[in-house]
Amino acid sequence: MTSTKTLRFIDLFAGMGGFRLGFENACKVLNIGSECVFTSEIKPHAITVYTDNFPDSLIHGDITQIPAADIPDFDVMLAGFPCQAFSCAGKRYGFADTRGTLFFEVERILEAKRPAAFILENVEGLVGHDKENNTDAIGRTLSVILEKLQLLDYHVTWQVLDAKHFGLAQTRKRIFIVGTKTQVVNLTEFPQKRVTLNDVLETDKPCMDTKLTKLLLSHFKLNELHGKSIKDKRGGKENIHSWDIGLKGEVSAEQKELLNLILLYRRNKKWAEAKGITWMDGMPLTAAEIRTFYQHSHLQTLLNDLVQKNYGSLGIPVEATRCSVSLMLVASLKMPDPPECVGRNASHPTTHSSGA
């Protein structure tokens, strides 16, 4: 039996459309019609993928610039508002970060449009953000969010759910905050489905014929790649770096040791204090700073070669306003003075950062 009711919903901070896809699939299971009447996203790459997934979508831009009156009436709001301000991978400034204040855009639209329900999603770190005491069950940030939503006359509940309990071979914890005008929704009694990586990996398929796969298989056996991450932002035995497989050009054992040590030491807060800039998760380092933890008679030659192969790049350290997502590397290479420009601090030596 098919319901005659069609739920009109809006998709805020839409990303690539995963939240929408889950909502629409749930509606299909329950034989409920659904229609997305408004979508907002600002990141160009996300918009490209979203429109590939949902070709008929009209993507609106910055939600802070859109009056509530310009949003069509709807029944349900979906909003995975930006998480970096609360994530353990970021600096966790919360509402002090402009991304954290985007929750108040959610509140603004709910207050103006008064839909029947909303589903909000964020990182697990939101639960304990800005605790007054370590013994508190939740932090002040989540307390403010729940209070604001309840003041709008919604019955609000929240729960941290882990994707590994619902058919994904990955631990991925997220908080879901749900509100309706009529009742408290139980978020604890969903049927669970556990799968492993072996359940989802395809077998008897040819490997992709790409430069990356060829390099990986020239350095590792196929079974050695199971469970590995391939990225340049972190160290660890379960991580494969671009230099481990010579992706941008072969490097020596000494250069690999150097790069791995930079990964280890680059996060030290003393570098930011010495430069007079805000700490980043991956500080730019001068050759002199690198020599404090790596001594080599030809260090400059090693660094020059890494720059030439694009494992790093030169730059002038600038004030950082948020956590860097790039691997910051090396060196004080002698370069011509750049043209005069606003904000350059001549007291800073030239530094080096990777293109990771």
CA nearest 106: which of 10, 234, 248, 250? 10
Residue type, 188: T
Residue with tokens 């008679």: 297
Verify whether residue 207 is a known catalytic residue: no
Q: What is the CA radius of gyration of the chain?
A: 25
Backbone angles phi, psi at 216, to 5 degrees: -60, -45
CA nearest 305: which of 247, 234, 252, 264? 252
Task: Centre a 10 Å sphere on the Cβ of residue 97 and count the other Cβ atoms it contains.
Answer: 18
| Contacts of 102 by beta carbon, 8 Å cutoff, 6+ apart | 13, 63, 64, 81, 82
CA nearest 139: which of 122, 164, 155? 122
Query: What six digits make up the tokens of 294?
Result: 């790596």
Give residue 112's region: left, alpha or beta (phi > 0; psi -120 to 50).
alpha
CA nearest 115: which of 76, 156, 153, 61? 76
Helix (H, G, I), strand (E, B) or coil at 229: strand
Instruction: Give the active site residue among 83, 88, 207, 323.
Output: 83
Task: Centre a 10 Å sphere on the Cβ of residue 252 and count the other Cβ atoms it contains.
Answer: 11
Task: Centre a 10 Å sphere on the Cβ of residue 241 and count the other Cβ atoms it contains.
Answer: 22
Catalytic residues: 83
